[in-house]
Chains A and B, each alone.
Chain A
Amino acid sequence: METVIDIRGLTKTYGTVKALDGLTLSIPRGGVYGILGPNGAGKSTLFRTLLGLIRPTEGVATVMGGRIGDPASMRRMGSMIETPRFPPFMTARQVLEWLARAHGGVSSAEIDNWLQRVGLTEAANRRVKGFSVGMLQRLGVAAALMTKPDLVILDEPTSGMDPPGIQEMRALIRSLADHDGVTVILASHQLQEVQRVCDRVAIFNKGKVITEGRVSDLTASGERLRLSVTPLAKAMSVLGDRATLEGDALVAALPRGEAAAAIKALVEGGVDIEEARWIGADLEDVFMSETGWTGVQEQNRAG
């Protein structure tokens, strides 16, 4: 598998706090790769490290085959980290003209094209000082993409955007991966968005990768059996702690191999089964099971 980013034992400490804790991760070329994690999980620290903005305490990483900071490799990468900021006296077009010069030159036609693709054509000659967060995000995305990078890192690209804007951005990100051959690395707290857009994800917690894989595999591993049954109380006593009540149905966390035996036990126990079907876990379930419970417990303890 060809990788665009290869990270081995990356650690970054701030005083006694480990923002990255021996992180090891390989990100394959192609597609959209999601980085998920609660606040403080180390996502932004990882991005800033990959961009050479901060130096790791330990470990190594390569980007596009070169070490971090290698100009030839870094020039193949575009990025937007957190809400981008720009010199307030410049217009949106001037910002892109400025960055085009900083990045070795981009034609005016290409700048116009990107202003149009991110929906900023009408605001192109307005000073960024008056831009909303969503508009700054759009401009940041245009700045990241106008140099036609092979790899682009987008940190919360839809933050502050309205629903149509989110939809447009989602389509743009998918199109970059599907039609332009760009590898997109995306961090977002909007898990539905990640599930719709990403091919693979890594879930971070406390500076480490705790789960990584294809979105379809991760959600499949959380499959559960949904049962519409009467009487509910009898069914619950048969299944015990393997089942929980969700609305007027039971949801049982069972491996597929045990489903038939469970259904047989219910029937033999005098339970009428109106419907039994498999429901997939969504990414939110996976995320919460991997990180959320621990996070809530610790917050409660700290509180």
Chain B
Amino acid sequence: MLADAIRSETYRLSKNRTALFWSVLFIPIMGVILATLGFVVAKANEAKLAGKLPPDMMKGGPLDLGMALVKSAGDFANPAILMFVLIGAATIYAGDYRWETWRLISARNTRPNLLTGKVAVVGLVIVLATIAALISDVIASVIQAAVFGRPLTFSMTGAAATDFGLLTLTSWARILQFTMLGLLAAVVTRSLLAALFAPLVIGVAQFFLPQLLLPMGVRPDGWLLPLLSPGMATDLLKAAIEGGASAAQLPDHAVLKGVLSLAFWIGVPFAAAVAWFNRQDLSKE
């Protein structure tokens, strides 16, 4: 039954080329185009820009694709990817209200299964977006090496591979968490626009939360800030995984705070959406 919900939602998404383009391909394509332009302009103005650009961009030894991938994995959950993945997620979450198609599918499956199926497919979209972003980063690195005449290498130690996996998982969870507010908004309001804008508004509010709470005496190393701000929680997890100097400055229980915050912001909106959907009249989708 859950498998039916996932299979049908995946099939429908596969036919929605507009949503797939904007949520999976747009940012990686733009990333490659902008990076290439940047490299070409930097190369053409190498003398003028000397000292103004990061030194490892133009000069240095071999360009290590493996390390570039580990670095990219930590940056997947950037604002641009969050926003564009949200387009696909909102389409999935609010689509059956928008197209009035709940009546076609809801009678023969349970409502929790139907919502869980949608979340699973959004999880798949995030995986696709991550793979596309990885490919985009590899292409950009190859272009960078070609433009600046640097040799390409690939090294991935066991520790680096673990970091890569954990950072990718953290970014995946952060993006999923961001879309879950869209799920709740879609179910409560039955509106695609609400599914798009509610996460953006709440995300912006969470971004500025520390500036509001710190003057009120909330401790920066306490539990409240990371629990209220999943973005901050993600930064804690990334710093803990990457190690080094920034990891040494992390507050106590940083990993636990990060994991709990993401779990809370994924689990609570999902549970609320299921509870609401279970009671909802679909007299007019």
Contact = CB atoms under 8 A, between A and B. Distances in A.
Interface of A: 45, 48, 51-55, 69, 71, 74-75, 77, 79, 81, 84-90, 94, 97-99, 101-105, 143
Contacts of A79: 103, 107
Contact of B5 (A52, A53, A102, A105): A102
B107 A51 contact: yes
A97 B283 contact: no
Interface in B92-122: 95, 99-110
A52 to B, nearest CB: 6
Given A53-B102, A54-B281, A54-B283, A101 B107 contact: no
B101 A85 contact: yes
Given A45-B283, A71-B108, A84-B104, 16 more contacts: A48-B283, A54-B281, A71-B109, A75-B108, A77-B108, A79-B103, A81-B103, A86-B101, A87-B99, A88-B99, A99-B104, A101-B4, A103-B4, A104-B4, A105-B4, A143-B104
A135 B88 CA distance: 29
A52 B106 contact: yes
B146 interface: no
Interface residues of B, number: 28
Contacts of A90: 12, 15
Nearest to A52: B107
11 contacts: A52-B106, A53-B102, A54-B283, A69-B110, A79-B103, A84-B104, A98-B15, A99-B105, A102-B4, A102-B5, A103-B108
B282 A87 contact: no
A160 B98 CA distance: 23
B128 to A, nearest CB: 18
B1 interface: yes
A89 B8 contact: no
A205 to B, nearest CB: 20
B18 interface: yes
The 3 A-B residue pairs with the shortest CB-CB distance, nearest first, are A102-B8, A101-B8, A53-B282
Given A87-B12, A101-B4, A102-B5, A77 B107 contact: yes
B205 to A, nearest CB: 33
A48 B8 contact: no
Nearest to A149: B108
Contacts of B48: none
Contacts of B16: 87, 89
Contact of B110 (A71, A88, A143): A71
A75 B105 CA distance: 11
Contacts of B282: 48, 53-54
A14 B283 CA distance: 11
Nearest to A103: B108
Contact of A87 (B1, B101, B109, B110): B101
A88 B106 CA distance: 19
A81 B8 CA distance: 20
A98 B100 contact: no
A87 B95 CA distance: 8
Contacts of B108: 71, 74-75, 77, 102-104
A71 B106 CA distance: 10
A32 B279 CA distance: 32
Contact of B18 (A89, A97, A101, A105): A89
Contact of B1 (A71, A81, A97, A101): A71
A103 B8 CA distance: 9
Given A98-B12, A103-B108, A85 B283 contact: no
A222 B4 CA distance: 51
Contacts of A55: 279, 281
A232 to B, nearest CB: 53
A97 B1 CA distance: 16
Given A48-B283, A89-B16, A89-B17, A101 B103 contact: no
Contacts of A99: 8, 104-105
A275 B123 CA distance: 79
B103 A51 contact: yes
B11 interface: yes
A54 B283 CA distance: 6
B219 interface: no
B107 A53 contact: yes
Nearest to B98: A87
A58 B10 CA distance: 37
A154 B283 CA distance: 16
A132 B4 CA distance: 29
Contacts of A81: 103
Contacts of B283: 45, 48, 53-54
Interface in B43-73: none
B8 A98 contact: yes
A266 B15 CA distance: 75
B7 interface: yes
Nearest to B279: A55
B7 A101 contact: yes
Nearest to B5: A102
Nearest to A14: B283
Contacts of A105: 4
A291 B74 CA distance: 69
B21 to A, nearest CB: 12
Interface in B124-155: none
B186 to A, nearest CB: 15
Nearest to A105: B4
B197 to A, nearest CB: 22
